C-alpha cells in the first residue's frame, strides 16, 4: 500500500433499479440491487451473460442513469461520467492516432498538466504495467494483452477512486489472461483503489476478488455475497487449494440453478427458448 | 528486438509475456516487386505509343472519325517545350496557375474541414447548412464559370472561386464521412477521461476524421486543377490553361501539347504532394495498411 491509496472509494448502492429500452420494449435489467463496497476492496460481479452486469457497471460509471434507488461513491451521488471512476472494457478504446505514451498521458493533458510532467507520469505507469520500452508505439502495433495494459495505465493516471472493469480480459487467450490477472493484482496491491470487476468466469472471480457478488438471471439481483478469505499475494497454491475447489463448486451450483430457472421460464415462451442455452 | 526484452525484464511478474502482433511497421510498406520482364514490357509500350503518335502525325493519318492532320508530332513538341522552358514566360504561367489552384484549394480545405467537422458532429448544424449545400453539390465547378465572372469584379478572384468550388465538395463530404465513422466509444472514453467539448474536437474528432479528410484533399486537388484549366481558358490571363488555349488560337499547335504536358506534370505533382503530406499527418493509418493509392 502506498501514498496513492484512496480513502474515498467507498461505494454504496441502494435499491438500484435500471430499466432499458424504449417505451413498450422497456424492461428491467437490474432489479432493486443493494450492496456496499468498502474503499480499497476488490469485488467481482459474477453472473451469466445478459444478467445486467454491464448495465450495473455502466450505471456506476455514470453512463447509464438509474430508474430508481441511488448510487454513490465516497458519499457523493453518481451523476454522469467522471475521471475519478476509471472504466476499462473488453475491447480497448485507445486512441489509434496517439502513441502509447500520449494515450496514457491523455487524462493529465485534459487537466492542463505540462507536457514534460505528464509524460514522466505516463512512463511511470507504463513501467507499472510492464510496458516500459513501448511508449512510442501506436496501439495497433501492440498485442491484445498489451493494449489492455495501456488501457489500465491510462485510467490509473487520473488516480481514480474506483476502477470499473467490464470483462477486461475476456477477449484474450488463456495464457495472456492468466498473465493479466496476476498483473492486475500486482498493480492493485501497489495502488489500493477500489475495484469492481465484471466477469462470467468463476475461476477469474475466485482468483481475483476479496468478495464475489453472484448475480441472478435477468432481471439482475444479487443472489449471493461470497467473501473470499484467501491470503494475498495469491498464486497457484490458492487456485489449487481445497477452499478454492469448494467455492468453485458452490458457484457452479449457483450458476446452474440460474440456467435451470431460466430454462423453466422459457418453456412458457417458445421465442426465448434458444436463448436459454447461451 | 531489444524493446521486447525490456518488458520481459521489467514486467512485475514472471510468466508468459504477450508479444506484439507481427512486425506491423513493415507491413504498411509492402512494395510491389518489378521484375525486369515487366519493366521491359512497360517501357516498350510507352515507346510504341510515342512512335505511333510520331508516325500518325508525320503522315497526317485519317482514321475515319479522328484525324491527325493538325496534330503536332513529338519531334515538334520537344523543341517547343525546350523553347518555352527557356523563355521567361514559363515561370509567369506556372506561378499564376499555382497561385490560383492553391488559393482556391486552401480556401476549400479550411471551409470544408471546419464545416465538415461541425456538420458531422451536430444535427443542428447539419439541418442548418446541408440543404443549400445539397442543392449546390451536383453542380460541377466549371458550370460556375459564367456566374463567377459576373459575381467577382476581378477575373483573378473568379478563377480562384471556381477552383474553390471544385475542391470544396470532395473535402466537405469526406470530412463528414470521416466524422461519421469515428467509434462512439472513443468519444465517450475521451469524455470520461476529462475532455471538454472543444478539446474533443482537437483530440478525437479531427484526428479520427483525418484519414478520410486526406482522401478528400487529394480528390479535391485533382478537381481544382480540372476547374482551373477550364477557367483559365475562358477567363484567364497567364496560366497554363490560358497558354494552351492561346496556342490554339494562334495556331501554334506544338505549344498546345506543351501546355497539356505542363498541366499533367503540375496536376500530378500537386496531388502527390497532398498525398505525401497526408501520409505524414496520419502515421498510425499507414501502419494499418493505409489507404490504397489507386
Ligand atoms: N441499450 C440497451 N437497450 C435494450 N436492451 C439492452 C441494452 N443494453 C443491454 N440490454 C439487454 O439488457 C440485458 C442486460 O445486459 P448486460 O448488462 O449487457 O448483461 P451482461 O453484461 O451481464 O451480459 C441483456 O438482456 C441485454 O440484451
Ligand atoms: Mg457485459
pLDDT per residue over B202-248, tens digit each?
999 999 999 999 999 999 999 999 999 999 998 878 999 999 999 99
Distance, CA of B224 to CA of B97 (rounded, Å): 11
Which of B10, B189, B208 would best serve as a mutation to test chain A binding (most A beta carbons within 10 A)? B189
Distance, CA of A168 to CA of A118 (rounded, Å): 25
Amino acid B31: pLDDT: 60
Q: B214, B281 in Cβ contact below 8 A?
A: yes
Domain residues for B260? Answer: 3-33+72-287
- Is B173 in a helix, a strand, or coil? helix
Q: What is the pTM of this model?
A: 0.81
Contact list, B285 vs chain A (CB under 8 Å)? 96-97
Contact list, B21 vs chain A (CB under 8 Å)? 141-143
Can you read off the three cell numbers belonging to residue A176?
Answer: 495472456
Nearest ligand to the C-alpha atom of residue A31: 1
Total structural domains within chain B: 1
Per the omega criterion (within 30 degrees of 0), is the bond before A233 cis? Answer: yes
Distance, CA of A264 to CA of A276 (rounded, Å): 9
Which of B22, B194, B201, B203 would best serve as a mutation to test chain A binding (most A beta carbons within 10 A)? B194
Residues near ligand 1 with C-beta < 6 Å?
A 20-21, 29, 47, 49-55, 218
Query: What CATH number did the domain enclosing B196 receive?
Result: 1.10.3720.10
Q: B144, B165 in Cβ contact below 8 A?
A: yes
In a domain, B279, yes or no: yes
Contact check, Cβ <8 Å, A130/B190? no
Nearest ligand to the C-alpha atom of residue A166: 2
Which of A92, A110, A118 would best serve as a mutation to test chain B binding (most B beta carbons within 10 A)? A110
By C-alpha distance, which of A133, A136, A144, A140 is closest to B1?
A133
Q: Residue A81 above 60 pLDDT?
A: yes
Q: Residue A6 above 60 pLDDT?
A: no
Q: Using CA atoms of B90, B95, B101, B107 in order, give the dihedral in degrees to the nearest 10.
A: -170
Q: A200, A48 in Cβ contact below 8 A?
A: yes
- The mean per-residue pLDDT over the stretch A46-60 comes to 91
Q: B69, B126 in Cβ contact below 8 A?
A: no
In a domain, B188, yes or no: yes
For residues A99 and B26, the model is more confident at: A99
ipTM value for the complex: 0.81
Can you read off the three cell numbers belonging to residue B289?
Answer: 495498411
Q: Please write down the HEC assignment for all residues of chain A.
A: CCCCCCCCCCEEEEEEEEEECCHHHCEEEEEEEEEEECCCCEEEEECCCCCCHHHHHHHHHCCCCCCEEEEEECCEECCCCCCCEEEECCCCCCCCCCCHHHHHHHHHHHCCCCHHHHHHHHHHHHHHCCCCCCCCCCHHHCCHHHHHHHHHHHHHCCCCCEEEEECCCCCCCHHHHHHHHHHHHHHHHHHCCEEEEEECCHHHHHHHCCEEEEECCCCECEEEEEECCCCCCCCHHHHCCHHHHHHHHHHHHHHHHHHHHHHHHHHCCHHHHHHHHC
Contact list, B193 vs chain A (CB under 8 Å)? 83, 106-107, 110, 154-155, 158
Per the omega criterion (within 30 degrees of 0), is the bond before A105 cis? Answer: no
Q: For chain A, give the mean pLDDT.
A: 90
- Name the percent of chain A lying above pLDDT 70: 93
By C-alpha distance, which of A111, A59, A72, A93 is closest to A220?
A59
Q: Residue A97 above 50 pLDDT?
A: yes
Contact list, A83 vs chain B (CB under 8 Å)? 192-194
Adjacent-strand bridge partners of A87: A164
Distance, CA of A269 to CA of A265 (rounded, Å): 7
pLDDT band at A269 (very low <50, low <70, confident <90, very high): low
Amino acid A76: pLDDT: 92
Residue B180, min C-alpha distance to chain A (Å): 16
Distance A26 CA to ligand 1 centre (A): 12
Contact check, Cβ <8 Å, A89/B188? no
Which of 24-83 (B) contact A at CB < 8 A?
24-25
Give the number of A-B residue pairs with CB atoms closer than 8 Å.
119
Which atom from ligand 1 is nearest to the alpha carbon of A53? Answer: 22
In a domain, B259, yes or no: yes
In a domain, B57, yes or no: no
In a domain, B96, yes or no: yes
In a domain, B280, yes or no: yes
In a domain, B65, yes or no: no
Question: Could you tell which of A21, A50, A170 is best to mutate to test the pocket of ligand 1, judged by most ligand atoms within 8 Å of the CB?
Answer: A50
Amino acid A7: pLDDT: 56
Q: What are phi and psi of B281, to 5 degrees?
A: -80, -15
The residue with cell 465572372 is: B149
Q: Which residues of chain B carry a pLDDT beneath 70?
A: 1-32, 290-294
Contact list, A106 vs chain B (CB under 8 Å)? 190, 193, 195, 203
In a domain, B281, yes or no: yes
By C-alpha distance, which of A164, A219, A224, A223 is closest to A17?
A219
Amino acid at each position: 500500500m502506498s501514498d496513492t491509496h484512496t480513502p474515498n472509494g467507498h461505494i454504496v448502492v441502494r435499491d438500484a433499479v435500471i430499466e432499458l429500452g424504449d417505451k413498450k420494449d422497456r424492461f428491467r435489467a437490474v432489479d432493486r440491487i443493494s450492496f456496499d463496497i468498502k474503499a480499497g476492496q476488490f469485488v467481482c460481479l459474477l453472473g451469466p451473460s445478459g444478467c445486467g452486469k454491464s448495465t450495473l457497471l455502466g450505471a456506476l460509471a455514470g453512463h447509464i442513469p438509474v430508474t430508481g434507488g441511488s448510487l454513490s461513491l465516497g458519499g457523493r451521488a453518481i451523476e454522469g461520467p467522471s475521471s475519478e471512476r476509471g472504466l476499462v472494457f473488453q475491447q480497448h478504446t485507445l486512441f489509434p492516432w496517439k502513441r502509447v505514451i500520449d494515450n496514457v498521458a491523455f487524462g493529465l493533458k485534459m487537466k492542463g498538466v505540462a507536457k514534460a510532467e505528464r509524460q514522466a507520469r505516463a512512463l511511470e505507469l507504463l513501467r507499472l504495467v510492464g510496458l516500459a520500452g513501448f511508449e512510442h508505439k501506436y496501439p495497433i502495433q501492440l498485442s491484445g494483452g498489451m493494449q489492455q495494459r495501456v488501457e489500465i495505465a491510462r485510467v490509473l493516471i487520473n488516480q481514480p477512486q474506483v476502477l470499473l472493469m467490464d470483462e477486461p480480459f475476456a477477449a484474450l487467450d488463456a495464457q495472456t489472461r492468466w498473465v493479466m490477472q496476476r498483473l492486475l493484482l500486482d498493480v492493485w496491491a501497489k495502488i489500493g483503489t477500489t475495484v469492481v470487476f465484471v466477469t462470467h468466469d468463476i475461476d477469474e472471480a475466485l482468483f481475483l476478488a476479496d468478495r464475489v457478488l453472484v448475480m441472478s438471471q435477468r432481471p439482475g439481483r444479487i443472489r449471493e455475497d461470497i467473501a473470499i478469505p484467501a491470503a494475498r499475494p495469491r498464486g497457484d497454491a490458492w487456485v489449487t487449494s481445497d477452499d478454492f475447489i469448494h467455492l468453485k463448486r458452490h458457484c457452479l451450483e449457483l450458476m446452474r440453478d440460474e440456467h435451470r430457472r431460466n430454462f423453466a421460464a422459457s418453456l412458457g415462451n417458445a421465442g426465448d427458448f434458444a436463448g436459454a442455452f447461451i | 528486438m531489444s524493446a521486447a526484452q525490456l518488458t520481459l525484464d521489467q514486467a512485475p511478474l514472471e510468466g508468459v509475456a504477450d508479444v506484439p502482433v507481427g512486425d506491423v511497421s513493415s507491413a504498411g510498406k509492402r512494395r510491389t516487386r518489378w521484375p525486369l520482364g515487366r519493366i521491359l514490357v512497360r517501357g516498350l509500350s510507352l515507346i510504341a505509343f510515342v512512335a505511333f503518335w510520331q508516325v500518325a502525325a508525320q503522315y497526317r493519318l485519317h482514321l475515319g472519325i479522328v484525324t491527325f492532320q493538325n496534330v503536332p508530332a513529338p519531334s515538334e513538341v520537344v523543341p517547343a517545350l525546350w523553347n518555352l522552358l527557356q523563355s521567361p514566360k514559363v515561370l509567369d504561367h506556372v506561378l499564376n496557375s499555382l497561385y490560383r489552384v492553391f488559393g482556391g484549394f486552401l480556401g476549400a480545405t479550411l471551409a470544408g474541414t471546419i464545416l465538415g467537422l461541425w456538420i458531422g458532429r451536430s444535427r443542428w448544424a447539419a439541418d442548418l447548412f446541408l440543404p443549400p449545400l445539397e442543392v449546390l453539390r451536383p453542380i460541377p465547378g466549371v458550370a460556375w464559370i459564367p456566374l463567377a465572372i459576373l459575381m467577382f469584379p476581378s477575373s483573378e478572384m473568379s478563377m480562384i472561386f471556381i477552383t474553390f468550388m471544385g475542391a470544396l465538395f470532395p473535402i466537405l463530404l469526406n470530412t463528414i464521412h470521416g466524422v461519421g465513422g469515428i467509434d462512439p466509444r472513443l468519444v465517450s472514453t475521451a469524455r470520461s477521461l476529462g475532455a471538454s467539448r472543444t478539446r474533443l474536437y482537437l483530440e478525437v474528432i479531427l484526428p479520427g476524421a483525418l484519414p478520410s479528410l486526406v482522401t478528400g484533399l487529394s480528390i479535391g486537388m485533382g478537381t481544382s486543377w480540372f476547374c482551373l484549366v477550364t477557367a483559365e481558358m475562358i477567363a484567364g490571363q497567364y496560366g497554363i490553361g490560358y497558354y494552351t488555349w492561346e496556342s490554339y488560337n494562334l495556331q501554334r499547335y506544338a505549344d498546345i501539347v506543351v501546355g497539356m504536358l505542363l498541366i499533367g506534370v503540375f496536376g500530378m505533382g500537386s496531388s502527390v504532394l497532398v498525398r505525401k503530406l497526408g501520409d505524414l499527418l496520419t502515421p498510425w493509418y499507414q501502419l494499418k495498411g493505409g489507404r490504397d493509392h489507386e
